[in-house]
Amino acid sequence: MGTDYNGTTKTKEVPDMTKVKRLTLDRYEHGLLVRALYEEWHRMLAEEKSTEEIEDLILKVIDAPTKIRLWKV
């Protein structure tokens, strides 16, 4: 699993037959994603909609492991 030579994301079957996708983001892209999710969370709060699922996603993105590369490919 990972990214192939042209940058597309590969998927992998897991035992419960759901597909898992892995994204590779730099610091800037990660920040954009967190900010967009946070803005959506605020919008949902203003509309008095349930925010449980987006809160879980925000935490998942924030807590995602970081892999440090010493060189660029």
| pLDDT value of residue 42 | 97
Q: Where are the alpha helices (DSSP H) in 1-73?
A: 27-46, 52-62
Q: pLDDT tens-digit profile of 45-66? A: 999 999 999 999 999 999 988 8
- Count up the domains in the chain and report the number: 1
32 in a domain, yes or no? yes
| pLDDT value of residue 28 | 94
Residue 32 to residue 62: CA distance in whole angstroms: 12
73 in a domain, yes or no? no
Q: pLDDT tens-digit profile of 61-73? A: 999 888 877 766 6
| pLDDT value of residue 73 | 61
37 in a domain, yes or no? yes
54 in a domain, yes or no? yes
* Residue 4 pLDDT > 60: no
Domain containing 38 equals 24-62
39 in a domain, yes or no? yes
49 in a domain, yes or no? yes
Residue in 40, 41, 35, 34 with CA at minimum distance from that of residue 63: 34
Q: Is the pTM of this model over 0.85?
A: no
What are the distances in angstroms from CA 33 to CA 36, 40, 57? 5, 11, 11
